[in-house]
Structure 1
Amino acid sequence: MDHSTPGSLPANRRPPAQARLRRILAMDAAGMTVFALAYLLAAGPVARALGVAEQLVLVAGALMLAIGAGVGLLASRSRPPAVPVRLVIAIGIAWALASVVSLALGWLHPSTAGTVWIILQAVPVTVFAALQSAALRTRA
């Protein structure tokens, strides 16, 4: 017997690709917004902990807040348009690549904790880009 509520999916079925895409976008927007606010509200302590310039933390926080707001807006749409979603994916990939390349080419000279953080923060960005790409491909 199916114990799902009216209008919901049975427990053993995945949500439709459209709903998955919106959820992934919403989670991405929420995560970006949380980290953006932390960077903006605690730029000095974050910069000292990571061994980077406070201005870099402020710029990263501002960019993340703007991108997070855009991604949140996309998540609120009943059917997020493909082109802006692809742009979000491209921005995520570019962010992750820039993070790693900045370390590899010596553009930044963070502390050990900063180096680890820069690498680790690229992981969820890449994961969200992959999940968004997959959901976009499979939606009806």
Structure 2
Amino acid sequence: MATAGITRTPRTVTDAGLLRLALKADAIASGANGVLYVAAAAVFGEMFGLPAAFLYPAGAFLVAFAAVLFLIASRPAVSRVAVGVAMAVNVAWVAASVESLIAGWFPLTGLGTALVIAQAVAVAGLTALQFAGLRKAS
């Protein structure tokens, strides 16, 4: 719809199969990681070189983030703004992962370094899938 020469994009999308799939996949991965971080913080701390004091709040955040992603994906019309915020959170996660490796924030083991890299790649992939789903739904 155009108003005074300005084209507006709808704030929601209703035909969003790929987008919903990407959001739900992100929710499942985030929620599973979050539960593991909280439940096994001490074990993961030793295995990966990540302090439990970091894993508990990170895990709680991921569980909450997963719940929000499921909510966004389950709405009859998916909010573009909400998807944009979710994608921004994912981009921030990837950036923080890279920065943690470069700056040496944690005394990561080899397995911990592999975990941080794998998660950053997975999150970037899910974000790209969300972006593709958003574009396809346009």
Q: TM-score of the superposition, structure 2-length normalised?
A: 0.86
Gaps of 5+ in 1: 1-15
Aligned counterparts, 1:59-98, within 5 A: 59-98=57-96
> Once the 2 structures are TM-superposed, how far is the Cα of residue 20 of structure 1 from its aligned partner?
1.1
> What do you get for the CA RMSD once the two structures are aligned?
1.4
Tell me, what secondary structure is at the counterpart of 2:16?
helix
Q: How does 1:1-140 map to 2 (within 5 A)?
A: 18-140=16-138
Q: Is the 8 A contact 1:103 1:109 kept in 2?
A: no
Gaps of 5+ in 2: 1-13
Q: Distance in 2 between matches of 1:86 and 1:17?
A: 17
Misfit runs of 4+, over 3 Å: none
**Higher RCO (CA 8 Å, separation ≥ 6 residues):** 2
Identity %: 34
Looking at structure 2, the residues matched to 86 and 130 of structure 1 have their Cα atoms a distance apart, in angstroms, of 12
Distance 2:107 2:50 in 1: 7
Paired amino acid for 2:68: G
What's the CA shift string for 1:77-110, capped at 9, x where partnerless?
1221000100111110110110011110122221
Q: How many residues end up aligned between the 2 structures? A: 125
| AA aligned opposite 2:75 | R
More strand by share: 2
